[in-house]
Structure 1
């Protein structure tokens, strides 16, 4: 099967009576794509940033419907956009409760299992360590070296110029992952306990070097978005593996 990577040759192109049946698009920009008279049976779309844009199907923007259904499936998820310290604290408690259910309910033989091109539960927990390190310890607390070595870095980090040598290449034990993860969870809990509206309004820098200057509250909301998004991914994949 042909693989196209890092190409822009299809931008603005028109495809007529072409077949993309069974094709896979990953980490690709399909914004502004127009489809007319297409067969969509079995089309599977997963977008981390869906809530920040629109997806129009037969003239209807389905994003609000998708968001409402995800909030129904994951009680407390709607608080990832909370603007007050109280709302963010409540949202954090809800996210951790949901994660506790998944971690304790996953049998040992599935902790390192994964579907093709996706992370396992163990890898996902390592990535959440990374996310907390980046947005709490790095962006909010401004620690000079915020990252734990077991963090699971995301695809494309090296291309962004990020030094990945600080991360271990050998797999960490599951017990070690849980220990570090629990420490990072507690750090978020401790921070939110004393967070005030004034603190949440303070400006910070994007920990990945992007041209965005989020508030402290924005950084916390990113942490919550990461928690809920990856919980959804893990539950989706575990359901396929069982």
Structure 2
């Protein structure tokens, strides 16, 4: 166990570091940046949260005795009425949710097409570019639909892009230097979205409550059985959240482009 007492660690970088169980007392985290960080069961006392911007999953977050998770979710549902439909409970609900995502992504892609092509490779505030976002969604579909549900042990395309914190895995591509055109990525994306459509259109009450068969090969997700419902909910969540991120970054890119 390392101890840093009255140490000056300003500007330090921590990558793939395990700080579980660590204790912070009288620590200055001004201007700190956290990305891909797990904060499960964190206890904070005597903290000051001023001008803090948080994007991520918020559940069971208690601030000054108030669980703000439900408040955040209620406000997000108010802002985005279709958001609540991303947690369907039956096959018809999944079909409706996918209809919504196809429509919304169509609008977002048309908005992106109005930008100069080079801007679609530009990162905003260290986030994925627009094209990298599309590549990641292809990876998500390949992993949770083609691998987990359909049983393809190695479904990935060379343009698939896992999340940055995922450990390197044999057979799973991760080419951050690739610069494919929007049309090339959209061709791949349309193919994968059609696969999701086929799976969802074929859902029955029985199949929705079923489990996948383990795929005995290295890759992601890990080779074990998963509830079909869980796999589909992951896809709906990925599609919904990453479109919001894309729309947010397109705002900045449009301002930059003009």
| TM-score category, normalised to shorter length | 0.7 to 0.9
Contact 2:131 2:185 (8 Å CA) reproduced? yes
Give the Cα–Cα distance (whole angstroms) in 2 for the partners of residues 158 and 211 of structure 1: 15
- The residue number in structure 1 matching 2:143 is 134
Give the Cα–Cα distance (whole angstroms) in 2 for the partners of residues 167 and 12 of structure 1: 34
Residues 1:231 and 2:243 are matched in the alignment = yes
Residues 1:31 and 2:40 are matched in the alignment = yes
- Superposed CA offset, 1:178-200 (max 9, x none): 11111111111122112111111
Residues 1:146 and 2:170 are matched in the alignment = no
Give the Cα–Cα distance (whole angstroms) in 1 for the partners of residues 211 and 71 of structure 2: 32
- Superposed CA offset, 1:9-39 (max 9, x none): 57341312x3211001122232222233322
Match of 1:208 among 210, 220, 230: 220
Give the Cα–Cα distance (whole angstroms) in 2 for the partners of residues 104 and 68 of structure 1: 29
Give the Cα–Cα distance (whole angstroms) in 1 for the partners of residues 20 and 176 of structure 2: 37
Shift of 1:88: 0.4
Q: Which has the larger radius of gyration?
A: 2
**1:64-143 equivalent positions in 2, closer than 5 A:** 64-106=70-112, 107-109=114-116, 110-143=119-152
Residues 1:43 and 2:52 are matched in the alignment = yes
Q: Give the TM-score normalised by structure 2.
A: 0.82
- The residue number in structure 1 matching 2:7 is none
Give the Cα–Cα distance (whole angstroms) in 1 for the partners of residues 16 and 141 of structure 2: 29
Contact 2:159 2:173 (8 Å CA) reproduced? no
- The residue number in structure 2 matching 1:62 is 68
In structure 2, relative to structure 1, the CA distance for the partners of 1:189 and 1:209 (3 Å cut) is closer
For the aligned residue pairs, the C-alpha RMSD in angstroms reads 2.3
Give the Cα–Cα distance (whole angstroms) in 2 for the partners of residues 166 and 15 of structure 1: 38
- The residue number in structure 2 matching 1:219 is 231
Give the Cα–Cα distance (whole angstroms) in 1 for the partners of residues 24 and 154 of structure 2: 47
Secondary structure class of the residue paired with 2:49: coil
Contact 1:77 1:95 (8 Å CA) reproduced? no
Give the Cα–Cα distance (whole angstroms) in 2 for the partners of residues 155 and 162 of structure 1: 15
Give the Cα–Cα distance (whole angstroms) in 2 for the partners of residues 178 and 185 of structure 1: 10
Match of 1:188 among 180, 183, 196: 196
- The residue number in structure 2 matching 1:199 is 207
Gaps in structure 1 of 5+ consecutive residues: none
In structure 2, relative to structure 1, the CA distance for the partners of 1:192 and 1:162 (3 Å cut) is same
Q: Give the TM-score normalised by structure 1.
A: 0.87
